[in-house]
Structure 1
Amino acid sequence: MNKSILPGVGLLISIFSMLIAAWFLVHFLTILGLFLAVAYPVWWLFLPSRTPCLICRSKKQDDYCPLCKRSVNKNESISPSGIRSILGNSLIIALLSLLSGAIVLGEMKVLRYLGFPPTPRTVSFVIPSTKQFLLGEIFPMKLEIVGIKQAVNTIQTDISFDPNALEAIDVSTENSFASIFVQKEINNQVGFVRLTGGLPNPGFSDPQGTFGTIYFRSKVPGLIEIKFLPSSLVLANDGRGTNVLKEISSVSYLILPERVSPERSLKDINMYDSTKKNNRTASNSTQMLFYDDKAVLGISTQLPEEKISPLSQFLILLEKIDNTILSLWRKAFGAFPQ
């Protein structure tokens, strides 16, 4: 039984060794192939007897070499027989280098399609500047994201607040970069707000943008805190829906003990009603809404920690090697796309 297994194991080891050798050869030719193609004639001028013809080396004894136009005699020198053979060998090396570069490019494209390396987490929610409001005042809190390096197409903001200190009046989507909204949830019993939406391909790629605005009314004086929950998401338009949100922040506001005047309160209500009316008008013309505009119970789910397996780390390393090699090509010859 052991004797029947050993040949199979040996075959697998041989195949694996050949694949590794081929991988190194392809990447070596991609890096130095064109240099070798140019250096080959120079090498032949100084060391003709030590410069082998590639076709002659690959042929068997007495086979015909079309470049040197002679039968191969491996007992004698197999160096190129003339200019034709030298240029032919240089051309072969150059073609192998270009073919190797195409293979490396294909390998990198496949790795990126599979998600290696992962899209980096660069996006965060903007923390508004420190502000203070009167007791009973209606005030806005903008939902803004910043640090967009890769276009995004889906955003979910989950907000937590103290329902004894604040009341969420509404969530506005006026002036939002998103055009489709699927969830708008408000629960003043537990202190939760969710807004979920996005936009179709190619997504939103500006460095910073406003997703929505939450209107709160203060209920008690003092320092209040509004938190973005870990269930908040910012998904990249990378074909894989990678969450690129890198951090969860919180916002603090100071509510003064002085109560807002009836005139100021009426002004705030009128301004809020006007904003809400404009928001609905804009939504009817430019935005698609797929939610019921009513208060519903919100939930939050903790995102699991992302772990990178050893295999994933190896594939990420391969992609970095391929990208580094192709970057050298782009700098030297302007070849190969990103």
Structure 2
Amino acid sequence: MSDPPCQPLGPLYTGPPEIHYGNQGNHWVCYRNGNFVPYHEPQRAQQAGPTPQGPQVLQATLDARANGAPSQPMEQAFEFSLWPVQHGSQHPIPINPALQTPLPHRRDLDLTHTGTITDAKGLKRGDKVAGSRCNGKSKERADTPKKRAYGKTELQHLFSCVEDVLPIGAKGWKEAEYQYNKWAKANGYAVRPPKAIENKFKGVCDLAACETKEESPPEVKRAHELELLMNERIGTRELSGTKLQSDIDSSDIEVTAIARCAPSLALKRKARTCGSDLAAKLSTAFDPQLQWAHNNAPAQRSLETTQIITLTQQLCDAHALSEGLRTQNTLRRPRVKILRFLCF
């Protein structure tokens, strides 16, 4: 039996559907295209539960739909969803089987294993110890044998880098470290962190100072030679207590230092005859003769002033008289000449 031809869509809900009753008392709804669908009558609120036949009919419809039963048009699905449901009913709203997608009869195969997911993403699994994960990376210890131990080859190349650079300050040690790490990467040796080259070289030099030259290994001797070259580059040299004492005893001349200081200025001392000097000054100040001379001094000065004024006036008169006589002499000279000419 084939599906009926699709009809043009009309109004989805034109009124209550027509209900038919089967031989066994089941309710069926007839659509306009003639298809019958099981119908569950809405129950009232006072009913205890749904009819025992409703779920069985719905399950039968689902089984038929899953086994390849023809699907109903979408219009029927909308009409089925628009059926009125009585308010307060405990029976669920009827759902059209055509809108339900059948589920496969198999268990869920979602991937939940974290290890498989980690491997699929290309990540590394976290190791577990006694049920807990290991701690993260921490600071490496200084005595780690794989990364901190220096072999003979590494020491020789370290000394070669130091000999090429002869580092004095931070810039020189940085250059030596760069050369050493470049060689280590190329030859598969461990790359040293900052300050490691400098600390290793200074540590070997400290061993050279503690051991004698006969017992020291060749690496220590070479480190000591490089240290001497570095000191010569900056113009310094090491001094030991024995050498310094021998140099002082043999060549230097001992001179005793004498403390000398500039002489201080002599202090002014106070006179011991201050009392007698004061008495002498007082007796001189109250002398009667000095008092009389002091009182007559203004009169004497006024007399002297008068005399000076008088003498000044007399001097002026004498100058005027001499000028008059000179004028008369000048006027009489021509007359004297004329008389002399007439007489002779």
Query: Is this a same-fold pair by TM over 0.5?
Result: no
TM-score normalised to structure 2 length: 0.14
Q: Identify which of structures 1 and 2 has the higher relative contact order when contacts are C-alpha pairs closer than 8 Å and 6+ apart.
A: 1
TM-score after normalising by structure 1: 0.14
Higher helix content, 1 or 2: 2
Q: Higher strand proportion, which one?
A: 1
